[in-house]
């Protein structure tokens, strides 16, 4: 079962954490990356409830060590958005996905824009979600991102839900 694999991965991460932190130090950028990986894995592991704490620790480390325009900011902010989205805090997730977009460019922002549209939709702000979802579909036409198909399908679902909520049921079905 896939969730068991994430639980097993979390056990390995937790066992490695003290060794990793002792080797690199508690505030090293690699330690920040380690906590970021922990957050991603933890959010998928049913037995782990610490994803937000791990994501915040990664954020603290990177905040102290990286310049404001560093490329790792997009990933760090995107991961914080994913964690908050998984926790059901869609308003906060949308804020972090927007921050990721603000620090990204090109195809790197497609996944953040998709998740922003999804978080806005789940937060009850379909009108705000729609232009982001439409932009994702427009940019996917020329994108080379490996996540292209996943993002396309997810974005079409977001747009279908928006149209269904607006009473445009036939248009919603056409998107599915």
**In degrees rounded to 5, what are phi and psi of residue 172?**
-65, -45
CA–CA–CA angle 37, 150, 171 (5° rounding): 140
In the chain, % of residues over pLDDT 70: 95
pLDDT, one tens digit per residue, over 119-130 is: 999 999 999 999
Judged against a pLDDT cut of 80, whether residue 25 lies above it is answered with yes
List, as one string, the DSSP characters of the chain: -HHHHHHHHHHHHHHHHHHHHHHH-TT-HHHHHHHHHHHHHHHH-TT---HHHHHHHHHHHHHHHS-TT-THHHHHHHHHHHHHHHTT-HHHHHHHHHHHHHT--GGGGHHHHHHHHHHHHHTT-HHHHHHHHHHHHHHHTT---TTHHHHHHHHHHHHHHHHHHTT-HHHHHHH-
Judged against a pLDDT cut of 80, whether residue 61 lies above it is answered with yes
Question: Is-contact 88 51, C-beta < 8 A?
Answer: no
């Amino acid at each position: 079962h896939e969730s068991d694999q994430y639980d097993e991965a979390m056990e390995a991460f937790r066992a490695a954490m003290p060794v990793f932190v002792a080797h690199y130090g508690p505030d090293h950028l690699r330690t920040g990356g380690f906590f970021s990986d922990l957050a991603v894995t933890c959010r998928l592991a049913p037995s782990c409830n610490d994803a937000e704490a791990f994501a915040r620790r990664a954020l603290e480390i990177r905040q102290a060590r990286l310049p404001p325009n560093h490329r790792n900011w997009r990933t760090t902010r995107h991961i914080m958005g994913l964690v908050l989205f998984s926790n059901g805090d869609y308003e906060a997730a949308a804020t972090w996905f927007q921050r990721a977009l603000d620090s990204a460019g090109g195809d790197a922002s497609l996944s953040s824009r998709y998740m922003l549209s999804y978080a806005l939709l789940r937060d009850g702000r379909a009108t705000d979600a729609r232009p982001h979802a439409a932009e994702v579909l427009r940019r996917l036409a020329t994108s080379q991102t490996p996540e292209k198909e996943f993002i396309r399908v997810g974005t079409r679902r977001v747009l279908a839900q928006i149209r269904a909520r607006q009473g445009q049921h036939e248009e919603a079905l056409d998107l599915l």
